[in-house]
Amino acid sequence: MAGRVQRKQVDLRNNRSLWSRLCFAVAIVIAFAALAIAAGALTPEQQAVVNGISENSLRGNLSFLSSDLLEGRDTPSRGLDLAAEYIAAQFRRAGLEPVGGDGYFQDAMVKDRVVRNVAGLLRGSDPALANTYVLLSAHYDHLGMRPTGDDRIYNGANDDGSGTVSVIEIASALAAAPERPKRSILFLTFYGEEKGLLGSRYYAAHPLEPLDKTVASVNLEQVGRTDATNGKQIGVGYVTGFDYSNLGAILNEAAQPTGIPIKKDLPSKGEFFARSDNLSLARAGVVSHTIYVADNYSDYHKVGDEWQKIDYANMAAVDRAIALGLLRLASDATPPQWNEASPAVRPFAEAAKKLHQ
């Protein structure tokens, strides 16, 4: 008995030591990112945007959207409706324009019930480019509730509450900046991703802004957890289907002042490209990719995916990098292009040609 207690004490000390080293590594990465920002590498507009992104704000929004009150945000459900109202209120608070047929809502029907995509527009400043659009999206639904168990609620904090609150936070930061980007930016949160990309498929078939005027779409998925099953993911974002277009390279270059690289997705096989809402827009011809941090983690699609397990400092750092990428996309005259040399891209490139005929 004494021997087992002694071994447990040693294991505990080792675990604490490992955790301390991980926490120290996180602090170093984020400190370097902060130093890069403070070093004057940003324009006043960029500085205002990165300063507007707060880990406390992210935590506050996510602690509500992934709370038990919303009962896992199934499609359709009362919790999903509450989430939609909350997101619309944040878009309204940020000063985004309503663009849906019902204020900030794009209504659809699932199982004889109304469900909603939530949309808000930051109008561009350039007369020649304001009628072209960049999309930033995430899905705000999750899996709802399981029938039995002490904890029945699939809270979906990382999947994809983290992407949803990041859309809200980046929208608020860009809207509060002293200068608006040249292009318009449409902020979207989709219902029904977990049921087969329902909300994004509906949007692609019934766009609120013309798809042939939509130059790029950036989707956010699982950007809050850093404890991936393949190792800690600190100070980095990954782009699915990175080589399918030059969008990832544009985002990475724009993010350099933050010290947060936007890199090629880990599997390097492109399979994650087809697993989130970017696929719906890509099939319609729009250059569209997803950014994530932890593609898989211990609580994926489990009831343990809760807001207390999110790395808010890292999420804020990644969001700042994404925000600078959006500014670049909304300011450059030349839009991203599909890589037609890749066989996997052929259907998306063909759809783009039809879109722009």
| Residue whose C-alpha is closest to residue 239's, from 270, 264, 222 | 264
- DSSP letter at 206 equals S
Burial class (CB in 10 A: 0-12, 13-18, 19+), 357: exposed
Listed in sequence order, the residues at least 6 apart from 257 whose beta carbon sits closer than 8 Å to its beta carbon are 36, 37, 41, 42, 46, 324
Condensed to tens digits (0 to 9), the pLDDT of residues 169-216 reads 999 999 999 999 999 999 999 999 999 999 999 999 999 999 999 999
Residue 318 belongs to a domain: yes
pLDDT in tens, 234-283: 999 999 999 999 999 999 999 999 999 999 987 655 678 999 999 999 99
Is the pLDDT at 1 greater than 80? The verdict is: no
Q: Check pLDDT > 70 for residue 5.
A: no
Q: For residue 87, what are the domain limits?
A: 40-355
Q: Note whether residue 329 is domain-resident.
A: yes
- DSSP string of 43-110, one letter each residue: -HHHHHHHHT--HHHHHHHHHHHTSGGGTT--SSSHHHHHHHHHHHHHHHHHTPEE-BTBBTEEEEEE
Q: Is the pLDDT of residue 59 over 50?
A: yes
- pLDDT band of 41, cuts 50, 70, 90: confident
- Look at residue 83 in the predicted model and tell me its pLDDT: 98
Which burial class, exposed, middle or buried, applies to 308 when counting CB atoms under 10 A from its CB (0-12, 13-18, 19+)?
Answer: exposed
Reported confidence tier of residue 141, pLDDT bands at 50, 70, 90:
very high
* pLDDT over threshold 50, residue 4: no
Per DSSP, the residues of 274-297 read GGSTHHHHHHTT--EEEEES-SSB
**CATH number of the domain that 105 lies in?**
3.40.630.10
Residue 2 lies in a domain: no
Please indicate, yes or no, if residue 19 is contained in any of the structural domains: no
**pLDDT band at residue 303 using 50, 70 and 90 as cut-offs:** very high
The per-residue pLDDT for range 307-344, each reduced to its tens digit, is 999 999 999 999 999 999 999 999 999 999 999 999 99
Q: How far apart are the C-alpha atoms of 122 and 49, rounded to whole Å?
A: 14
Distance CA 16, CA 24 (A): 12
Q: Which residues of 42-77 are buried (b: 16+ CB within 10 A; e: fewer)?
A: beebbbbbbebbebebbbebbbebbbeebbbbbbbb
Q: What torsion do the CA atoms of 82, 87, 88, 92 make, to the nearest 10 degrees?
A: 140
Residue 72 lies in a domain: yes
Is residue 30, in this structure, part of any structural domain at all? no
Sign of the CA dihedral running 202, 208, 212, 217: negative
pLDDT in tens, 76-93: 999 999 999 999 999 999
Find all residues with CB under 8 Å of 239, minimum gap 6, and list them.
Answer: 247, 248, 251, 262, 263, 264, 265, 289, 290, 291
Task: Convert the pLDDT of each residue in 99-121 to its tens digit.
Answer: 988 899 999 999 999 999 999 99
Q: Is residue 6 assigned to a domain?
A: no
**Inside any domain, residue 336:** yes
Give residue 146's pLDDT.
97
Residue 20 confidence (pLDDT): 52
What is the number of domains present in the chain? 1
Return the structure tokens found at 308.
Answer: 């207390």
**Per-residue confidence (pLDDT) for residue 271, from 0 to 100:** 76
pLDDT of res. 37: 54
Q: Could you read off the pLDDT of 249-260 as tens digits, one per residue?
A: 999 999 999 999
Query: Residue 32: pLDDT above 80?
Result: no
Task: Round to whole Å and give the CA distance between 151 and 147.
Answer: 10
